[in-house]
Structure 1
Amino acid sequence: MRQLNPSYIFFMKKLAITNVLFLFITFNVHAQPWTLQQCIDSAYTNSTKIKTANNNQKITALKQQEVKANLIPKLSIQGEYKYYLALPYQLMPLSIFGGPEGQFKEAQFGVPHNINVNALLQGPIYSNELMGNIEKLAIRNKMASIETAKSYEEIYFEVSTIYRNAQLLHSQLHFIDSILENTKKIQETVKQLALEKMANQSDIQKITLKIATLTLNKSHLETNLQQLYNALQLYTQSTNAITVEDHLLMVAINTYESKQNKDIALLKLQTELINLDLQTLKRSKYLPDVGFFATYGTQGYGYNQDPNSFLNFYPIGYVGLRVAYPIFNGNATNKKIGQDALWLENLKLKEEAVNDQMDLAIKNAVLTMNNAFQNVALNEAQMNLAATIYAQEVKKHEQGVTAVNDLLLAQNEWVQQQQNYVQSIAQFLAADLSLKKLTNNIPNNK
């Protein structure tokens, strides 16, 4: 058998070790939980809502450039060839030939071949409608920018809410796993006591029922948690499984400075848009549209019958102004002005209503956040007390002093206080996030 080269063997060993390390590192990277910021950043990158909003903003900007391009004079070349099958007639007064007044004689003029080639330059000098449209599109561009910022804000809020809910369920699962493990130990102890005639079969059944209930709750929580993970995977467009960080992290209570709400900003821009339309309509009643035009080219006339066939070209050029002044349009302009006035009134009422709703929502969010902040401390103390009582009951049961019912009651209270503690943290974080959104303090990439 041919012996392998030692350097080749060393190379293959090195390659195998490298592949194992690569797989190990890749697995660990994929297995690591995602932070909230990682989920948000990935959602920003992959969100169809944000991509659509960005495209809409680009469309508005391009539309504005398109309308502005109408201010630039347009140059075109026009050509025309006509062949007359029958030359046009004109009536000639006989008086120019010495005949009587009021009598005419038809006569054909021109040649059958006509060729025109002209360069035409035309553009606006002043157009009320064009200037108004440019200003309106500038406002619409601002509105599109705010809509894009709102999309970022909504993604931040939605992903944060899902992430916090997943952390809540993850913490609850952690508690249930701990309690299940503890309850199974108690079950083994009770079984041993039953063998020694120090516990009865009913005690074992109660513990078994408790384990079954905890297992069922765990399965339910795992299903709900997986649904939240699926939602995060949809937002982030990750091809790998997503998990969240283990524990809910409590933050200090914050006071947010109230900034202008994006919905209010949009209403103000809509009001500005209607006012601009109103100004454009009023100007259109007395300001004319003025444009210029200029042309230069050549005209060709041809005759192809012998003995005098020819094709001659003659230059032609002129400049001019075009003026359009409104005199009467059936009172349509005044009707449009009346509509805009009503739109302005509606926008004012809507802005007042939104402001009132925002003020109320902010007050309620502050109350909810303060209450949740206080509840966190209270629930933490109650959870610690319940844990102490449960530990005491476990010792008493081991000593045969307390019954299984008392032990299970203490355990139930401990479980409930654990759930209350985690939920109070989640409620506080949710209220904090809601207040951050209402006061327009959610960060985004805009």
Structure 2
Amino acid sequence: MKLKFHLPILLSLFFAGGVQAQELSLNQLLDAALKNNFDVQAAQLDEKKTNARIDEVKSNLLPSVTVQGDYRRYIKIPGQVVPASAFGGPEGTYTTLAFGLPYNLSTTAQVTQALYNPSVRYALKAANLNRELTSLSTVKTKEDVAYNVTDAYYNLVTVVQQMAFLDSNLLSLDRLYKVSDLLYQNQLGQRVDKDRIMINKTTTETQLATLKDNYQQLVNLLKFYTGTPQSEPLRIAVSVSEVMLPSGSGFDEKRRTDVMLLEKQRELNSLQDKNIKAGFIPTVNAYGTANLTYYGKGGEYSTFQQVPGYWAGLQLNWSVFDGYARKAKRRQNEIDNDKLAVQLKQVSQSIQMEEANARNKFSVEQRNIDAKKEQVALADRVYKQIQLQFKEGVVSLTDVIQAENSLLDAQSNYLTSLVQILKAELEWKKATGSLIAKE
């Protein structure tokens, strides 16, 4: 089914304060929102942050270099207890000797390279998965923004359509009031008829003023969604066409971003389990150290001597027993995996329900809206005919008011169906993951 409205939006010029501004369609509003919306910008910054974290994880694959310096001024050089016999003393006695000089300056540089550490490999894979998760989160944010923009736009469509109805009704009431006033002036009508028309006219004007305020609020909301400053004018091109759903079902649930997010989380959960198991495996690091120490002494026999030292080695780290901490972590990971499986089933059934409900709702309103549109046209013809008969004195004002009420009811029913069919299309797009174009 196709609904086409190309309504004249004169009110948009009024709300723009007479300033010319570009008139945006729904697609243009969506493009602006997906580019300028604050939530989208924040999500994109999260992506950049995730990329920076990946660089941090990659750094574990590269060698690390540390440099340390140590300066000591011994007020009293610490001594060591040694056998006195080593220096010609009696057996079984000990003496204390102090080795070294009071001034010590030591500089050490060490290079360490991980030779075997499976946790680093799994951490890198997890970081790449996190990048995909963050990217999907950005897509989810864009979908939410697209939903909000489209919902606000459809609300704007119904408000504008309602204002168009009220504008037309107000013109009819103006003409009717002039006729009743003329009849009253010529003593062919009653003042009460004139007053009753004025009451209806005032009521319609009040409703129109309220709708204008609603219109402005929706425009301001669209400004917020699209990142447009509230001080800038924004004109909306209200035009709805091609409102229709494809026949049949059978859409791919994996188009839903929340499904893809859960699947990526399960992949990440699997990597975390492998990383936990890798904790049972020893790690090997290679390292090389260069040390340069200076010893000094002041006074009459002052000296300053340099003592270099260089060595390399392999370091094995193996956590043989951790108090069953890894076992507990793996159990928690299994529970998280089971929970993700349940959530996937829940989301799958929810998607099927949302799609079916939206399709059924659309089907019902699709059958109703054409009939309701014809009812509006018929009620409008009847209302105009009754007005003409009232001018000719054939019918009473009561008949005119009844015809007007019938027209208002027909218009209200049509607007209700219009809202429902637009919202059904929006809910269907949400259920099938087609709110935005997927790459």
Tell me if both proteins adopt one fold, taking TM over 0.5 as the criterion.
Answer: yes
Q: Pick from 270, 284, 290: which aligns with 1:296?
A: 290
Unaligned ranges ≥5, structure 1: 1-25
Shift of 1:85: 2.2
Matched position secondary structure for 2:243:
coil
Shift of 1:102: 4.5
- Residues 49-64 of structure 1 mapped to structure 2, 5 A cutoff: 49-64=39-54
Distance in 2 between residues matched to 1:110 and 1:253, nearest whole Å: 90
Seen in structure 2, the aligned counterparts of structure 1 residues 117 and 250 have a Cα distance that, compared at 3 Å, is: closer
Q: Which is further off, 161-170 or 391-400?
A: 391-400
Do structure 1's residue 241 and structure 2's residue 233 form an aligned pair?
A: yes
Look up the equivalent residue of 1:371 and give its one-letter code: V
Distance in 2 between residues matched to 1:319 and 1:32, nearest whole Å: 71
Q: Pick from 247, 251, 255: which aligns with 2:243?
A: 251
Contact conserved, 2:71 with 2:104, CA < 8 A, in 1?
yes
Deviations 1:303-353 (A, max 9, x none): 3343x4322223210001111111222111111111111111111112211
Q: Pick from 356, 361, 367: which aligns with 1:374?
A: 367
Matched position secondary structure for 2:153:
helix
Seen in structure 2, the aligned counterparts of structure 1 residues 181 and 321 have a Cα distance that, compared at 3 Å, is: same
Q: Pick from 308, 311, 318: which aligns with 1:325?
A: 318
Give the number of equivalent residue pairs. Answer: 419
Q: Which residue is equivalent to 1:277? A: 272
Q: Which residue is equivalent to 2:13? A: none
Shift of 1:161: 1.0
Contact conserved, 2:253 with 2:351, CA < 8 A, in 1?
no
Deviations 1:50-94 (A, max 9, x none): 111111111111112112112211123333232322223223234
Shift of 1:417: 1.9
Do structure 1's residue 183 and structure 2's residue 173 form an aligned pair?
A: yes
Q: Which residue is equivalent to 1:417? A: 410
Do structure 1's residue 90 and structure 2's residue 101 form an aligned pair?
A: no
Matched position secondary structure for 2:188:
coil
Distance in 2 between residues matched to 1:417 and 1:63, nearest whole Å: 60
Q: Which residue is equivalent to 2:346? A: 353
Shift of 1:234: 2.3
Q: Which residue is equivalent to 1:73? A: 63
Look up the equivalent residue of 1:439 and give its one-letter code: T
Unaligned ranges ≥5, structure 2: 1-15
Do structure 1's residue 212 and structure 2's residue 205 form an aligned pair?
A: no
Q: Which residue is equivalent to 1:125? A: 115
Q: Pick from 373, 380, 392: which aligns with 1:387?
A: 380
Q: Pick from 327, 343, 353: which aligns with 1:334?
A: 327
Contact conserved, 2:25 with 2:238, CA < 8 A, in 1?
no
Look up the equivalent residue of 2:356 and give its one-letter code: K
Contact conserved, 1:373 with 1:428, CA < 8 A, in 2?
yes
Distance in 1 between residues matched to 2:187 and 2:152, nearest whole Å: 51
Seen in structure 2, the aligned counterparts of structure 1 residues 393 and 399 have a Cα distance that, compared at 3 Å, is: same
Seen in structure 2, the aligned counterparts of structure 1 residues 188 and 219 have a Cα distance that, compared at 3 Å, is: same
Q: Which residue is equivalent to 1:23? A: none
- Residues 158-173 of structure 1 mapped to structure 2, 5 A cutoff: 158-173=148-163
Deviations 1:202-241 (A, max 9, x none): 3222212221221121122122222212212222323323
Distance in 2 between residues matched to 1:292 and 1:32, nearest whole Å: 65
Look up the equivalent residue of 1:61 and give its one-letter code: N
Q: Which residue is equivalent to 2:7? A: none
Q: Which residue is equivalent to 1:34? A: 24
Look up the equivalent residue of 1:254 and give its one-letter code: P
Q: Pick from 164, 167, 172: which aligns with 1:174?
A: 164
Shift of 1:288: 0.8
Q: Which is further off, 233-242 or 402-411?
A: 233-242
Contact conserved, 2:72 with 2:104, CA < 8 A, in 1?
yes
Q: TM-score, normalised by structure 2?
A: 0.88
Q: Pick from 411, 424, 433: which aligns with 1:440?
A: 433
Matched position secondary structure for 1:70:
helix
Q: TM-score, normalised by structure 1?
A: 0.87
Contact conserved, 1:250 with 1:429, CA < 8 A, in 2?
no
Look up the equivalent residue of 2:348 and give its one-letter code: N
Look up the equivalent residue of 1:427 and give its one-letter code: Q
Deviations 1:105-127 (A, max 9, x none): 32222222323223211122223
Distance in 1 between residues matched to 2:315 and 2:341, nearest whole Å: 41
Contact conserved, 2:156 with 2:218, CA < 8 A, in 1?
yes
Q: Pick from 114, 127, 132: which aligns with 1:137?
A: 127
Contact conserved, 1:125 with 1:290, CA < 8 A, in 2?
yes
Do structure 1's residue 263 and structure 2's residue 253 form an aligned pair?
A: no
Look up the equivalent residue of 1:300 and give its one-letter code: Y
Q: Which residue is equivalent to 1:365? A: 358
Q: Which residue is equivalent to 1:428? A: 421
Deviations 1:93-145 (A, max 9, x none): 34445666544332222222323223211122223433333222222211111
Q: Which residue is equivalent to 1:199? A: 189
Contact conserved, 1:30 with 1:240, CA < 8 A, in 2?
no
Matched position secondary structure for 1:176:
helix
